[in-house]
Structure 1
Amino acid sequence: MKALVGFACLALLSACAHDLELMKMEEQVNGYGSAIRWNLFKKAAGYLDPPPVPAPDWKALAETKVTAYSPQYREVLPSGKVMTQTVEIRYIPPGAVVEKSLIDQQRWRFDEDGNRWVLESGLPEFNQTLARTQRTP
């Protein structure tokens, strides 16, 4: 009987640890999404691992106005340590009056050393869209 109780307790603790990691994921992913939504790009960069090299054009990002950040799809891989997410981001580029959108494919992983979820895929690719916008006559 003691073995059965011990096994049940171990299973419960294992489930709680899994739920705690998922709660951490939600906290990190939502914090990052809020930073992007409120144009806090330097704060959003704090979720990245590795840090962006070269550094983003902070001035162009500061002039970019995000109007919507909408997660479309999320999948946690079987290991429970990697999550992919697709997000639609609507924004107004610097000097423009027309709203644009992009699809951001994100890859998150759980960093055991830091005990937190980090974004591996980098900041949204506003710069590619901005470069196309700036070249348009």
Structure 2
Amino acid sequence: MSLRWVLMLVLMVVAFGAQAAGGRQKGKLEQAQNAYAAAIRWGDFESAWSFVEPAYAEAHPMGEFELRRYEQIQVSGYRDLSSSVEPDDVVVRLIEVRVINRHTQAERTLRYRERWRWDAGAKRWWLAGGLPDFWDGE
């Protein structure tokens, strides 16, 4: 076998390995996003918080007040509108959420962006920036 064929074979194996790793990463992103979306839909904000990047969570801890505030709402809809990848490999999703205030029973719709970052060391995706602010502007 000539050196050229060996080199071509090595390049093909490397390319296939990189593609397979990217596929696993994408699968893990879908799993994380689906689990996070389910937690938001069911109002399980403590579980949703477990998807937040540890550095962000440490810098912006969620206390009892914030958790009680989330108990005042009920999510009646959660929809992924679009998804894109930023140059730094951060995946951004535009989300539409319908929220009902438990006290007034008033429903409103809001949009926010989720930013997902891959952590190669932990081999998982993290939500960058925390949970949605359902009270922005109120």
TM-score category by the smaller chain? 0.7 to 0.9
Give 1:78 shift. 4.4
TM-score, normalising length: structure 2: 0.84
What corresponds to 1:62 in structure 2? 71
Give 1:98 shift. 1.8
Identify the range of structure 1 (2-11 vs 98-107) with the bigger mean alpha-carbon deviation: 2-11
From 116, 130, 134, give the equivalent of 1:126: 134
What corresponds to 2:119 in structure 1? 111
Percent of aligned pairs with the same residue?
Answer: 26
In the alignment, structure 1 residue 82 sits paired with structure 2 residue 82: no
Partner Cα separation in structure 1 for residue 79 and residue 70 of structure 2: 19
Q: Is the 8 A contact 1:107 1:119 kept in 2?
A: yes
What corresponds to 2:60 in structure 1? 53
Residues 8-66 of structure 1: CA deviation (Å, up to 9, x unaligned): 11111111011111111111111111110110100000111111725252112123110
Q: Is the 8 A contact 1:105 1:121 kept in 2?
A: no
Identify the range of structure 1 (30-39 vs 105-114) with the bigger mean alpha-carbon deviation: 105-114
Q: Which runs of 4+ in 1 moved over 4 A?
A: none
Unaligned runs of at least 5 residues, structure 1: 133-137
Give 1:102 shift. 1.1
Partner Cα separation in structure 2 for residue 54 and residue 109 of structure 1: 19
Unaligned runs of at least 5 residues, structure 2: none
Cα RMSD (Å): 1.7
Number of residue-to-residue matches in the alignment: 129
What corresponds to 2:106 in structure 1? 98
What corresponds to 1:13 in structure 2? 17
